[in-house]
Structure 1
């Protein structure tokens, strides 16, 4: 089954979008307000499947910013994608 069609993902995706008030977190860094319609895994899903539903690893993005996070041909993180991967950290208990 495709993870992105699963019920746990759909619930988590909606929770993250609501938490970020449907605003693109990357655009917000520059004072722009764009509607977020995508939830991005800062630590890529294929490399870190165990983090797939961790809220701290997920950010809301607009389509333009999401396209800038990783190369669509080889799925390698761009510099911007690496920035966000470094920016998010798991909570310390």
Structure 2
């Protein structure tokens, strides 16, 4: 996975992100499709940034999502829960922050 942190801090991304959130009325689009009204706090690349860098700032490739939906869309980023069995019947749940949330 390429390092994308600098991109997410760029002025171009911040402007594009704001436009998409406004377009989507700050609502999570996947939740809205399931008739749920949930505020969006992230903007998701439908076609991943690493795979299609030419679509990085294309609003047609972006959708507003809530943190929960974004974590489901990107389990590879370590934002999902990881269970660790410590003894039979007991599980410790660890959750790590998605690096795109800052």
TM-score (norm 2): 0.69
Query: Which residue, out of 1, 5, 10, partners 2:9?
Result: 5
Q: CA RMSD for the aligned pairs? A: 1.5
Describe the SS at the equivalent of 2:75.
Answer: coil
Distance 1:73 1:17, change over 3 A: closer
**Count of matched residue pairs:** 74
- Cα distance in 2 for partners of 1:62, 1:46 equals 21
Structure with higher RCO (Cα < 8 A, 6+ apart): 1
Describe the SS at the equivalent of 1:43.
Answer: coil
Off by >4 Å, runs of 4+ in structure 1: none
Structure 2: 5+ residue stretches without partners: 79-102
Shift of 1:58: 0.1
Structure 1: 5+ residue stretches without partners: 75-93
